[in-house]
Amino acid sequence: MAGTSLARSRAQLARRRARSLERRKTRPLAALAALVLGVAAVVAALGPLRPSLERALLPLEYAAIIREQARAKGLDPALVAAVIYEESKFRDRTSHAGARGLMQITPQTALFVAERSGGQSFVLSDLSRPEINIAYGCWYLRYLLDRYRGNVTLAVAAYNAGHSNVDRWVARAGGAAAFDPRSDIPFRETREYVADVARRREQYRRLYKHELGL
C-alpha cells in the first residue's frame, strides 16, 4: 500500500515537472509571437507615412531649375535628379578631385561645356551657382546620351568614369548591344553608381511626379 502511494506521488511529481517544463518552453515562443505582432502593428500604422519618410530620405531641391534644364536639353528630369543625388546629395561641395557643385563638374568638363554652349564669360566659381551647375551638368549629360545613341547606362557610366573608359569597355564587350554593366564595367564604384542612379531615377519618378513635371 505504501509502495503504491509512493509510486503515485512520484508519477504526480513527474507530471507536474513535465507541465512546468512545457510552460517554460512555450513562454519564449509566446513572447516572440507577441513581439512579431507588435512589429506588424507598427509597420501597418506607419504604412500611410511611407511616402513622406521616403521623401525625407530622398530629398529633391531646385526642382524648377531641373525641370527647365531637362526640358531644354531633352532629358528625363528624374534622371537629372538621380544624378544630382548620387553626385552631391544636393549639396554644393568640391571633391578631392576638384569636381564642383551639385552635379560635381570638373574644371576640365566645365570648360569643355562652356566652349561649346556659348559660356564666354564663364569662370569656375560659377559652378557654385545651382542654375549654372545644373545647366552645365545637363548639357554634358545630353552630350553623353548623344555620344552613346540614347543608351542611358553608357551615358551614366561615362558621367562617372569618363567617356574614354566607357569607349574602351564597350569595344572590349563587342559593342553597345553586348555591353552588360554588371560584368563589363571593371570599376566597382562605377558599377554601383550606374545601378544606384537607375534605382533613384525610378524613385524620383514615383515620389516627385508633380514637382518634376512628369
22 counts as catalytic:
no
Q: How far apart are the first and last CA of the chain?
A: 92
Say which amino acid occupies 206: R
**For residue 155, what is its C-alpha cell?**
551615358
* Marked catalytic residue, from 22, 68, 87, 211: 87
Q: Is 184 in contact with 172 (CB distance < 8 Å)? A: yes
Ramachandran sector of residue 98 (left: φ over 0; alpha: ψ -120 to 50; beta: rest): left
> Residue 205: exposed, middle, or buried by beta-carbon count in 10 A (0-12, 13-18, 19+)?
middle
d(CA 88, CA 104): 7
The residues assigned a catalytic role are 87
